[in-house]
Amino acid sequence: MLGPVAAGLWGAVLPAFGHLPAAGFEGPSLEAWERLFGWAGIWPASLLSVTTGFAATGLSLVIVTLITAGWWGTRPFAWLERALSPLLSVPHAAAAFGIAFLIAPSGWAMRLVSPWLTGMERPPDVLIVGDPWGAAMVAGLVAKEVPFLLLMTLAALGQVRARSSLFVARSMGYGRMSAWLKTVFPAIYAQIRLPVYVVLAYSMSVVDVALILGPSTPATLSVQIVRWMSDPDLAMRLVASAGALWQLALVIGALALWRLGEIVVARRGLVWAAGGSRAAWLESLRPPALGLASLSAILVLAGLAILALWSFAGIWRFPEALPDALTLRSWSRHSGGLGQALSDTAMIAILATALALVLTIGCLEAEFRRDRPIGRTGLWLLYLPLIVPQTAFLPGLQTLLLRVGADRGAGPVIAAHLVFVLPYVFLSLGDPWRAWDRRQAVAAATLGASPLRVLLGVRLPMLLRPVLVAGAIGMAVSVGQYLPTLLIGGGRVATLTTEAVALSSSGDRRAIGVFGIAQTLAALLPFALATIVPLVLWRHRRGLHG
């Protein structure tokens, strides 16, 4: 994990200081930095990146904390848990398109209330998608990051004594919310701190969601860096490299500020917990918490439904709530490009995920045999590509690949996807792997089985479902990768995600619907297989259904 990130950062440092011999620039020079800070939009773009990052992360964390505190163990919470896999599998770009189609002035939400309530026969002239404050972008990020943080929280719950802590606190007269916040949340947050940092870094540097829902004058800093990287003027690559390092500095500063906030909140929280206040008013937050969590899920699922409707829509004028007719014309018109993009997407996702599974199983098996679990340093290294902004090291990695002539074909793109797929596969498979009853291995060994045979003949079959789920998560991560495919592929590798995002400026809602739904199905199909395959293979072994 350290190698690609370090190589990418090194590849950004040299051009940022004017040294790019392949393009005819010999450093050192500060001209790129002068041009970067001479750009009129640098401070608004930087401020926008920071504010949207903090807003998306803070709102996501608050919603996940309140819904878990108020509803964990209840029937509504079980419904949200069941919706987690579909919500997690939806790529960010598809979710952003769906939300845009919902909340736009000519979107479905406005159509439902027009003209009978609003009196409007034409879409209102208001800027909702692409608003200058980034509110629509924050809404899109929150809708996707809430399921991720909720999944991390559920995994962390298995490592703390939540039920017993809650029982003791409630027996002392505390309400459900205050008992959770005072006794369980501190232990949970210690477990999910790294995922929260990942969400903050991602929200500050995301490109595809910013292109679809974010403002354009100026755009976020990450979007501007990608534009500079695509500029035909090679001198702009130097500016892009300087911008990438500036983006990294902003993320590091934001993480430091967040850490400072953690310390302040921890000290204030300690005083609050020791004070003995029952804080009964917190119970009134339960309904809003359920409403916000449900709203984030509804935004994504309703958005997908609208995407699907647009992909089959015939004539659909405003303010009609439904199209005049449903047709396969859009799917037929884009079948050629869709088939090529789908095959490239599947090939890259399958190979990157297969490599990630092999590496993960090898690491976990070595950890098991040596009885040495991964330490904090290893965990940080694992999260490193997710915490360092993609826009900070991918441009440098692209420059390095160009310099050594390794920028052709799908191989570099697969390797780049592997950098982001591996952490998710490792984190999703780690807990089930470590929870496996090692007495099974002892029993097999006493019968003469070698360690390799125990792994292949006992452990992997018993852990088939977690392995397939980890693979499905890896496939979904790969399908949703935009920037690694665009930069490392040099625009020559077209996946469903790059094609869908490229269509965002076209305004062709039917084409966006086709590619958005195809992208979602490509990510959702592995989750369906992960559920069905164990049921079929182990239909006569109910104990292995998991």
Read off the pLDDT of residues 95-122 as tens digits, 9 standing for 90 and up. Answer: 999 999 999 999 999 999 998 888 888 9
User: What span, in angstroms and rounded, lies between the C-alpha atoms of 322 and 309?
Assistant: 8
pLDDT category at 216 given cuts 50, 70, 90 is confident
- Cross-strand bridge partners of residue 20: 25
Task: Provide the pLDDT for residue 79.
Answer: 87
- Mean pLDDT rounded to a whole number for the chain: 89
- What pLDDT is stored for residue 479 in this prediction? 94
- DSSP assignment letter at 25: B
**How confident is the model over 294-341, as pLDDT tens digits?**
999 999 999 999 999 999 999 999 999 999 999 999 999 998 889 999
What's the pLDDT score for residue 546?
54
Contact 241, 29 (CB under 8 A): no
pLDDT at residue 162 in the model: 86
pLDDT at 385 > cutoff 80: yes
254: tokens are: 């934001």
Both tokens of 187, joined, read: 């232990």
Q: What is the pLDDT of residue 25?
A: 84
The neighbour count for residue 377, using CB atoms within 10 Å, is: 8
Tens of pLDDT, residue by residue over 518-532, are: 999 999 999 899 889
Distance, CA of 109 to CA of 103 (rounded, Å): 6
The tokens for 163 are 């039920």
Q: Angle CA(387)–CA(393)–CA(396) in degrees, nearest 5?
A: 175
CA 97 to chain centre: 15
Percent over 70 (pLDDT), the chain: 99
| Amino acid 1: pLDDT | 66
> What is the C-alpha separation between 365 and 52, in angstroms, rounded?
40
Helix (H/G/I), strand (E/B), else coil: 326: strand
Grade residue 544 by pLDDT with cuts at 50, 70 and 90. low
pLDDT given for residue 55 in this prediction: 97
SS3 493: coil
Contact 465, 534 (CB under 8 A): yes
Residue 515 has pLDDT above 90, yes or no: yes
Is residue 5 scored above 90 in pLDDT? no
Residue of 127 and 84 predicted with greater confidence: 127
Close Cβ partners of 531 (under 8 Å, ≥ 6 residues apart):
none
Q: Which residues contact 500 (CB under 8 A, 6 or more apart)?
A: 93, 94, 97, 512, 515, 516, 519
List all residues 6 or more positions away from 227 whose beta carbon is below 8 Å from its beta carbon: 219
What residue type is 196 in one-letter code? V
Which pLDDT belongs to residue 12?
85
The segment with the largest mean pLDDT, out of 190-194, 228-232, 264-268, is 264-268
- For the cut 90, the answer to whether the pLDDT of residue 159 exceeds it is no
- Structure-derived torsion over alpha carbons of residues 353, 357, 360, 362, reported in degrees to the nearest 10: -140
Which residue, 413, 385, 423, is CA-closest to 487? 413
How far lies 525's CA from each of 96, 240, 307, 471, 522, in Å? Answer: 20, 37, 18, 11, 6
Amino acid making up residue 14? L
Least confident of 61-65, 108-112, 212-216, 429-433: 429-433
Q: Is the pLDDT of residue 383 over 90?
A: no
Helix (H) or strand (E) holding 300: helix 286-312
Which range among 101-115, 263-277, 404-418, 475-489 shows the weakest confidence by mean pLDDT?
404-418
In angstroms, rounded to a whole number, what is the distance separating the alpha carbons of residues 54 and 225? Answer: 20
**Tell me: the pLDDT tens digits for 390-427?**
888 888 787 777 777 777 778 889 989 999 999 989 98
Whose structure tokens read 């504010």? 51
**Any idea what DSSP says for residue 387?**
H
What per-residue confidence (pLDDT) applies to 545?
Answer: 57
Question: What gap in Å lies between CA 392 and CA 388, rounded to an integer?
Answer: 7
Ramachandran category for residue 193: left, alpha or beta (phi over 0 → left; psi -120 to 50 → alpha):
alpha
Quote the pLDDT of residue 182: 93
Helix (H, G, I), strand (E, B) or coil at 196: helix
E-strand ranges in 415-480 read none
How many angstroms separate the CA atoms of 119 and 32, rounded? 53
Predicted confidence at residue 253, as pLDDT, reads 97
* Per-residue pLDDT at 131: 92
Look at residue 89 in the predicted model and tell me its pLDDT.
81
**Between 86 and 232, residue with greater pLDDT:** 232
Enumerate residues 6+ apart whose C-beta is below 8 A from 212: 93, 96, 97, 100, 129, 140, 501, 504
